[in-house]
Chains A and B, each alone.
Chain A
Amino acid sequence: MNELHYHRPKTLGEALELLKEGVPLAGGTALVPELGKTQAVIDLQDLGLDGLGLKKGAIEAGAALKLQILIEKKLKIPEALVAACHLEAGLNLRNMATLGGTIFSADGRSPLLTTLLALDVRVEMQPGGEEISLDDLLERRGEKDFRSLVTVVRIPVPQRLAYDQVARAPYDRPIVCAAVGRWKDSQESEAVRITLGGFGTRPIRVQNAEQEIAKDGQVEKATAAAAKAYAKAEDAWASADYRGHAAGVLVRRLLMEVLG
């Protein structure tokens, strides 16, 4: 029988070396039920990756920071991000699940991932210290030879952030959800980021909708673009017609909220 090997490295170097033979173990909430044929796990809890602070206008969080710690008001973080954490999991799981683990394991129906994507989150990877966007990471995380460790999650603090969802019950997983962040970009002009979730393996960014806002600030056009982005988002949980419609409604409301 294959016996699982458990490692708890004390240094990042040790951890990176161990990545060759196993997978990172953050809170365990996603990995432990799926251990299956995993040969080895590398528990990140002793690496000091659970810091939380503000740096250059962004929240800088260690990847092993527990979701519940993130929202316990040590920092003033956007209320919609707090809400998304609450919707992501109940308290017991938030006491276990980490920011990095959620980024790696959550699917398209994740309120938190949808919100983080709207925040233009960037992650620092090791080895190498490369910083990439969450968008890029979501594309790469499923690759077979992906052997990097996310160590830091940088969450830009927007001027406004809003999140909303449609679900069968208040804390059910969303059928459709959306997040909109608004801030001044590097040229000090207004910009919004619009994301949709509730479907598929990952949430998506709706750049067409963002461009409509950037172009002439027309909410209705952005709404139509959001609806179109989910026009084929059909699965056992909802029809594409419904998802497209609801996506449009949510994006319209969120835009009114952040732009108003």
Chain B
Amino acid sequence: MLIRFILNGQETEVEAPESMTLLTLLRERLGLFGAKHGCETGECGACAILLDGRPVNSCVMLAAQAHEHEITTIEAVGEHPQQGWKSTSGLDPIQQAFVETGAIQCGYCTPAMVLAARALLERNRNPSESEVREAMAGVLCRCTGYLKPVQAVLRAAAVLRGEAVDPVTAMIPAPEVFSPPMDDLGFEDFGMRGPDFQTSTQVMPNIHTQPQTEGRSAVGKPAAKVDAVKLVQGKPAFTADVEMRGMLIAKVLHSPVAHARIKRIDASEARALPGVAAVLTWEDLPRVAYSTAGQSDPIPGPLDSFSLDHKARFVGDRVAFVAAESEAIAQQALALIDVEYEELPIILDPEDAMKDGAPLIHDEPEFVDFADSDASRNLAAAIRIDIGDVEKGFSEADFILEGTYHSPKVQQAHIEPHVVVTYWDEDDRLVIRTSTQVPFHVRRQLAPVLGLPSKRIRVVKPRIGGGFGGKQEVLIEDVAAHLTIATGRPVRFEYTRAEEFFASRARHPMRLKLRTGVKKDGTITANEMLILSDTGAYGCHALTVTGNTGHKSMALYVGDGPYRQSPNIRFHADIVYTNTMPSGAYRGYGVPQGFWAVERHMDKVARKVGIDPLEFRLKNTLRAGELHPFSTAWSEGREPRPETINTCGLADCIRRGAEAIGWEEKFNNPDWQVVPGKPHLRRGVGVAAVMQGTAIPYLDMGAATIKINDDGSFNLLVGATDLGTGSDTVLAQQAAEVLGVRVEDVVVYSSDTDFTPFDKGAYASSTTYISGWAVVRAAQQAAERIRARVAHMLSKDGRSVAAEDIRLAEGCGWAPDGRSVSLEEAALNALHHEDQEQIMGAASYMSPVSPPPFAAQFAEVTVDVETGQVRADRLVMAVDGGVIVNPLTAAGQVEGGMTQALGYALCEELSYDPKGWARETSFREYHIFAANEMPILQTIFVETMEPSHPFGVKAVAEIPMNGVGPAVGNAVYNACGADVDRAPITPERIWKALGGLD
């Protein structure tokens, strides 16, 4: 039908099928890519546009419904402030505030947030924080924790009111009245919703710096993200934001049964359907066993996957691929594929996986073992580590405490689904444009699967709309690639939200048994963890995720006195197959599971010996100068080598975090714990001490090249993959620090396997450290050439100066006597005037160490002791992540990580019915926190100067996932005495822990 509307102020007519959604019309017919696809049910809000001035979700609206209405998309809001000779009005004040406050991480939901804010501020220039949160609640963000977006809107409101705003480095004026969110709605008595007030609008985190960082110009500064201006405008920066002539749409037929052989598959009817370009079944593809885990060579896990197989191992497993002219035709073709399944017995409970007579999930002869995997026992991996003399340690204990804990299967839930576009280029090389954390692994791992040498594959990684480990998987690239090979045409394949929930990857659920020996004085003498981990139908990341569970969470408690020098630690794990969606990598990589158990358990141990939980932790945890106890026992990469902890700010983190949350006044204080007038409510505080790693030693490698341009700017090319974390920005800051230029003078590009040097990818909390080291080295090479050039130029007048005496700062090379040459002059001299050369650097870095970040996580909760309902009121995290390169982006990592972890603590869980069907297939069932239900978030950085990095850097990205769950669990106990050992901590579990019906 002919649809007429006013689009961004212009009368527009467009012909579209009556079944087409407004989102599809905008993106595919009108080329407006600012509205994003995040789901098909309207829950995520990434597709939001303004309809007659109000935010609505265009994925659940037919384009026809917009007929005769007015539509505003992000493309109508603001523009780049510098467009050569053309004068522009620049960014909208809302966009500007988003850029300045660090409100943008992956940027996928940013256009929707900006539009929601615009709709609010057009009606109300002076909103309260709760009104802002309510206005943003229609847009889910998995990165930020909403704090900085809310701050951005409040800042923009002030600008629009004509008020002067302070620089982001200062305090942003807070609104005069901070009212509870529900007050605005008029029901103050809704005691269990929303915190009493929200956090302050201070943008910069509380940061305690080291004296060595003084005088730095770029590192340690709150630089705006280098991709922020692009993302805030909704530019077509993501994988799916491309139009290609003749592009086909791919779909996958998923298995409806959890375990079956495909006795017969007939795709003839589907192939005959007009508009279908290809249908592929297992009969059409070469049978290549591989692993979908995006990891370095050799893959540390079994090769147990095939692009298509004659066996289905979970509901959602692949059965056939279709490529068609449209999504509707592809869907119709799926229904025409006739499959006869021979159903097999299934295993859903990992406890059943290794029982005698259990059905074998991997009985294929092509299965390739790794280490202790044993397909004949449904065992994907096994780990047996004993450090010290564990039995002797237990024999020396006064008490031995045991406990069993369960951690849930949870989903990464990045708002941008998995998405890939493939095509043959003019050189008949296969281009894979994909939303991945691991472009170089995609190329290497898919080469044999596709029957192509690596050199004929080019992987391009555009911006990524969040990954969190879910895109450390070579999950769907092969589908589109096979279909491009089959048809010769470009193919786009994008997961639906439901597919994300039933056919992608998740965190390994685990049963963790803990046993701890402790003396009366609180000294730990031995510590044991026995794990049963569920890898689902395939063994991707099975060994390494679970290895990290022990490597980090069981390394923290070494004991005290002589036990510090020789701790007694046992870590055994079996990682088994079940007929459920595979587990995989998820931010934290096994460590959140470990700390859920360890930190719940340690609170009980402290209780048993009657020691304050903070004191107990300070007494028994690892300290600087001590050996990382697991470093001699296990490594994710190569053979283990001893590693000493150089820096550990944990004690300071505990002290500052306790101060921030008011531990002294609250913990075990009955006067504070009761809520006046509400006898059914109890308040509590809890703590967890955690650590992580920074990269995988002797394995992870990153590289960078840098070159100077005529104007003294630089191109920095990195293989590192910024998945929204801001890694491009912190790499640019490190280069800028070395070269003495502004961050905006470093133009970063990442990543493309043809043009950027190798980087293992974005995982293991490595980019700022490993890739940063490579950038520093490359920049140092360029800097050396610049100094020589400047020295030469300055020496021409007879006043000789040595290259090593040239200082690079403020875009110039400076001689000790104050003379200077600008980098632009130096660049022109080098490129055009004399003794011409390209000033450049190229370097890589592999680390022999993995310096752990440490943190203390605090939580404050209110529990309804009659219903078990719990509300998180405040989360405080004090982090030792070494020197913080960018306080804004790092704080954003902590806030977003705590928010994800809060979901893991309270409401996120994937579960299956008795036939293996997923219970959660949308954000309606799988609840992630929205802007209007957040607790107060507070980040404190306690810097240490890590000597193994030139700027003292450690990691920040993953550690925020580790402590929230146990801190909330411990706070719940503190509030009401309920010990909940199975996450998430649901109302029913608390109620049962309090006695249930008894």
Contact = CB atoms under 8 A, between A and B. Distances in A.
B138 interface: yes
Given A3-B18, A80-B187, A92 B906 contact: no
Nearest to B986: A168
B113 to A, nearest CB: 11
Interface residues of A, number: 49
A43 interface: yes
Given A3-B19, A245-B997, A82 B42 contact: no
B988 interface: yes
B3 to A, nearest CB: 10
A164 B193 CA distance: 10
**Residue in A82, A91, A95, A172 with the greatest tally of chain B CB atoms within 10 Å:** A91
B426 interface: no
Given A79-B186, A171-B933, A96 B61 contact: yes
A15 interface: no
B137 A90 contact: yes
A168 B987 contact: yes
Contact of A28 (B61, B190, B194, B997): B61
A35 B927 CA distance: 24
A178 B941 CA distance: 44
Interface string A143-179: 0000000000000000000001011111111011000
A168 B192 CA distance: 11
Contacts of B182: 83
B67 interface: yes
Interface in B816-833: none
A92 B139 contact: yes
Interface of A is mostly: mixed
B834 interface: no
Interface of B is mostly: loop
Contact of B41 (A6, A33, A250): A33
Interface in B31-65: 40-43, 45, 48, 51, 54-57, 59-62, 64-65
B186 A45 contact: no
B185 A6 contact: no
Contact of A6 (B62, B138, B187, B997): B62
B17 interface: yes
B1 interface: yes
Interface in A74-120: 79-80, 82-83, 86, 90-96
B867 interface: yes
Interface string B981-998: 000101110011000110
Contacts of A94: 138
Given A28-B61, A83-B187, A95 B55 contact: yes
Contacts of A170: 192-194, 871, 932-933
A82 B185 contact: yes
B919 interface: yes
B529 to A, nearest CB: 28
B795 interface: no
A238 to B, nearest CB: 6
B911 interface: yes
Interface in A33-67: 33, 35, 41, 43, 45
B57 A241 contact: no
A15 to B, nearest CB: 15
B57 A169 contact: no
Contacts of B116: 91-92
B328 interface: yes
Contacts of A8: 64, 67
A79 B182 CA distance: 10
A3 B991 CA distance: 51
A141 to B, nearest CB: 20
B45 A90 contact: yes
Contacts of B61: 28, 32, 96
Given A4-B19, A8-B67, A96-B42, A171 B997 contact: no
B548 interface: no
Contacts of B328: 1
A236 B917 CA distance: 12
Given A168-B927, A170-B871, A95 B51 contact: yes
B10 to A, nearest CB: 22
Contact of A91 (B40, B138, B903): B138
A8 to B, nearest CB: 7
Contacts of B933: 169-171
Instruction: Give the 8 A-B residue pairs with the shortest CB-CB distance, closest first.
Output: A92-B138, A168-B907, A90-B138, A4-B19, A6-B18, A170-B933, A91-B138, A79-B186
Interface of A: 1, 3-6, 8, 25, 28-29, 32-33, 35, 41, 43, 45, 68, 79-80, 82-83, 86, 90-96, 164, 166-173, 175-176, 236, 238-239, 241-242, 245-246, 249-250, 257
Given A41-B62, A91-B135, A92-B48, 7 more contacts: A29-B57, A80-B187, A90-B137, A166-B867, A168-B906, A171-B933, A249-B866
16 contacts: A4-B18, A33-B59, A82-B187, A83-B186, A83-B187, A93-B57, A93-B60, A166-B864, A166-B987, A170-B192, A175-B988, A176-B867, A236-B911, A242-B992, A249-B867, A257-B189
